[in-house]
Amino acid sequence: MNQDIALRKERLTTPRAAALAGIVFSVLLITSLVLIRISVPTDPQDAGDWLAGGLKTVTLALNIVPFAGIAFLWFIGVLRDRIGEREDRFFATVFLGSGLLFLSTLFTATATAGGLIGMYGAAASTIVDSGIYAYNRAVTYEIMNVYAMKMAGVFMISTCTLSLRTGIIPRWMSFLGLVLALFLLFSIGFFAWASLVFPLWVLLISVYILLANIGRPRDESKEIA
């Protein structure tokens, strides 16, 4: 009985768990970001005309985010477990801290946007004219497109640095992640779809981890994060 329980716990820490969590996170966040991008103007100083017809789509997108966050937490935990004793304490701290900060800023931006939508439903005629919309829109834009994405870039840099030292993903994938991380750090505000870079990168390494461990014996699969 105890042996069965131990085996089940071991399965939870396999590379496949990290891969599946990463894929779920990526798909959910990409879906949410795309829904928002096609419904909300990219200009943070827009007049708010989209509120009259895009509320349902944006509300759906915002409701997806918490589930993406849960999957991302699982992804961080399982990936860190796979690094295990090989992890560098400095980069491991940055890895965990940046991941949690990314989630907190992502949730803050989502909650701020959700609050605006809730207020618009209660007092549609006064939200835009009072300036509440302009302020809320600017704050949400800054939190999501500046702070959250920069934390995502730091997470990518720390993850790629750890992977170069531990070999948990191919070197070319690590170098690609470093380049994309620099793109995130310095390009936000210039490219409307730049926020998709992070979930697409997580999807790339998650699919690689999953495919690399399909059909492998348990002892071999432990060597791949």
27-46 tens-digit pLDDT: 999 999 999 888 887 777 77
Say what percent of the chain tops pLDDT 90. 32
pLDDT at 9 over 80: no
pLDDT at 125 over 80: no
The CA distance from 199 to 32, in Å, is 11
In 3D space, the residue among 170, 209, 156, 204 whose CA is nearest the CA of residue 30 turns out to be: 204
Helix intervals (H) in the chain: 2-12, 15-39, 55-83, 89-122, 124-130, 132-142, 149-166, 171-187, 197-213, 218-221
- Give the chain's end-to-end CA distance (angstroms, integer): 28
pLDDT at 187 over 80: no
Query: What pLDDT sits at residue 5?
Result: 45
Say what percent of the chain tops pLDDT 70. 76
